[in-house]
Amino acid sequence: MKIIMLGAPGAGKGTQAKQIAEKYSVPHISTGDIFRANIKNGTELGKKAKAYMDQGLLVPDELTCDLVVDRISQADAVNGYVLDGFPRTIPQAEALTSALASRGEKIDFAIDVEVPDENIISRMSGRRACLSCGATYHVEFNPPAKEGICDVCGSRLVLRDDDKPETVQKRLDVYHAQTQPLIDYYKDAGVLRTVDGTQDIQKVFQDIAEILG
């Protein structure tokens, strides 16, 4: 079962991807993990990717696709996989489609975890992090015992810059411009399925499990 997870930053697609991987015994593959693994292992593709990343540049679509195809060719992905964070753009999606087609394969499901922007902004701006021990909280859904203080180590909790409403809105604008077109792309391919990401995490997963069967 070959699955792509779609959804805006903060929609919870990573959490769902992990649960799918666990339930169906397939690897959860995120591009960030692939980059890190290849760079750590000093592979040829990893060296190429690192050269771009060291300059603060985005890794080109073709190279990103090569890294993904290399990863899904490994033994643990023989029964399928969940792709999280790739493809992000139409050129990446097209590159993936043709790479899979050359192997006689195709994506089975593209699952869009749909959450309105305002929900994402309130979700993310409610996050609080402890910079000392890395523990995370949410003012509404998972508050610390004492407001603004970490339960684990007693340090002060902060709202990270990338969780501030204006930063989140910028990330959402980029998502809508670049990644939203993928929804139409996979709809046209007949593999798009949409779930309501505003529900409880377990209910979202239940809905996805019903789609996957």
156 catalytic, yes or no? no
193 catalytic, yes or no? no
Among 48, 50, 164, 171, the one annotated catalytic? 171
Give the residue from 147, 149, 127, 148 showing the smallest Cα distance to 138: 127
Report phi then psi at 59, rounded to 5.
Answer: -70, 130
Amino acid at 30: S
Rounded alpha-carbon distances, angstroms, from residue 9 to 79, 124, 140, 179: 28, 9, 19, 11
Among 23, 47, 160, 170, the one annotated catalytic? 160
Q: Identify each DSSP E strand in the chain by its residue range.
A: 2-6, 28-30, 81-84, 109-114, 127-130, 136-138, 157-158, 192-196
Among 13, 50, 146, 193, the one annotated catalytic? 13
Among 2, 71, 88, 123, the one annotated catalytic? 88
103 catalytic, yes or no? no
State the chain's maximal CA–CA distance in angstroms: 57
88 catalytic, yes or no? yes
Among 2, 71, 123, 127, the one annotated catalytic? 127
123 catalytic, yes or no? no
Q: How many CB atoms lie within 10 A of CB 98?
A: 10
State the catalytic residues: 13, 88, 127, 160, 171
